[in-house]
Amino acid sequence: MSTTTATAVDAKRSRVRLLIVTMLFLVTTVNYADRATLSIAGTALAKELSLDPVAMGYIFSAFGWSYVAAQVPGGWLLDRFGSKWVYAFSILIWSLFTLLQGLVGFLAGAAAITVLFLLRLLVGLAEAPSFPANARIVAAWFPSNERGTASAFFNSGQYFATVIFAPLMGWIAHDFGWRYVFYVMGSLGILVGFIWIKTIYGPKDHPGINEAEFDYLREGGALVELDAPKDERAADTGPKWNYIGQLLSNRMMLGVYVGQFCINTLTYFFLTWCPVFLVKQRGLNILQAGFVATLPALCGFIGGVLGGVISDAILHKTSSLTLARKIPIVGGMLLSMSIIACNYVDGQALVIGFMALAFFGKGIGALGWAVVSDTSPKEAGGVSGGLFNTFGNLSSITTPIIIGYILAATGSFAGALVFVGANALVAAFAYLVIVGKIERVRLRTA
């Protein structure tokens, strides 16, 4: 095709996939903001309910128990019923349970703690399909050469959530009380759920896509048939459960799972204990902590977008998917180890600076969902994403509990920061040594 012809085709090609990834970014931002509500409200809530660090660690972890347990079933639902409606119900239900957490303030003692723990469990259960759905939608809507940037963009919503909502939630908690953090964020999520229903379709069904864009997606390796209506899919019986054993026996996928577990340790430190660190050890009030947390989050957001751009640029230059994904992940994780340096400086600016550098590196290296889109077998994209997120989010359980015990034993966050930095090192090792060549998994169907 001549340059002139290619330019003409590009000019008439619709850009619906950009709307799709923008919606994924918006929903992911709200998703992570809702996960972080407890960390922002946590100091005042813990004081009101007389919770010690170990008890708070377990309450922080409640989300993770159900979130992890529901990953594979959630992925199965996605493969069986499609991404749009499973995700829509997920958004609406988790937002409702977020809103209801504000009512815990009307209870007292053990009843308040029990209800709060149960509501956090329900939020985790409802959010379980979210990231496997993101990966499925990116696999359907983006060709291979754009998948890294698209995945990094939606994944960077986790940092943007803090940039936008940490100051807002800090102000709400400071001026109106911690209960209103849950009321506001839950209501916002319900609104986003209805917007999702109006805007999300598969490539074959979207009213705004034209033939030029559809052909570009299909020819570039996008799985455009992934969420086609059932009567257009051949022998649609849903994923087979023996696929799980095949994925678990694949060395590449096991390395990816270990890496994601360690990468998410940094994420869950930031979502749970980081605001408490700023208040308890650095002497800030909750309003100041909300604003200060935006700098590491902003750096994580910039790193997240940059990591995807770097990855796709390497893929364009080398045609090696392995190099394109591994170089940013390994480099970013090594940079994230700078969080340990917070133990060796006294000034507030230096502490925040090292934390920002660590989360910039974490953002660059957060390409796990691009790897999932690259490697998941087309017969079981949801189950594959669910397994990946199961292993990755075990750290949502272990991280807050381990740090809670470290604080109870030492009275300091020094050991906690070393623990977080060590996980970044293990993530780099997993991708360097265990993963090997990155390629799409082929399953035995017999």
Q: Which residue, among 244, 240, 256, has the nearest Cα to 379 in the 3D structure? A: 240
Question: Around Cβ 161, how many Cβ atoms within 10 Å?
Answer: 23
User: DSSP assignment of 118-129, as one string?
Assistant: HHHHHHHHHHTT
The tens digit of pLDDT for each residue in 294-343 reads 788 788 888 888 988 899 899 889 989 899 999 999 999 999 999 999 88
Residue 51 in contact with residue 59, Cβ under 8 Å?
yes
The tens digit of pLDDT for each residue in 251-298 reads 999 999 999 999 999 888 877 777 777 766 666 666 666 667 678 878
Mean of pLDDT values over 6-32: 80
The tens digit of pLDDT for each residue in 355-399 reads 889 989 998 998 887 888 788 887 777 778 778 888 888 887 888
Nearest-angstrom CA–CA distance, 229 and 58: 42
63 backbone dihedrals φ, ψ, rounded to 5°? -55, -45
Nearest-angstrom CA–CA distance, 33 and 169: 9
Q: Which residues contact 53 (CB under 8 A, 6 or more apart)?
A: 404, 407, 408
Task: For residue 2, name the pLDDT band (cuts at 50, 70, 90).
Answer: very low
Percent of the chain with pLDDT over 70: 89
Q: Which residue has the higher pLDDT, 107 or 65?
A: 65
On the question of pLDDT at 416 being above 50, the answer is yes
Q: Which residue, among 14, 385, 22, 13, has the nearest Cα to 226 in the 3D structure? A: 385
Mean of pLDDT values over 74-90: 86
Percent of the chain with pLDDT over 90: 23
Asked whether the whole model's pTM tops 0.95, one would answer: no
Mean of pLDDT values over 412-423: 88
Q: Which residue, among 136, 154, 176, has the nearest Cα to 18 in the 3D structure? A: 154
Q: Which residue has the higher pLDDT, 387 or 53?
A: 387
Question: Around Cβ 434, how many Cβ atoms within 10 Å?
Answer: 16
Residue 385 in contact with residue 132, Cβ under 8 Å?
yes
| 434 DSSP 8-state letter | I
Q: Two tokens at 207?
A: 């009213």
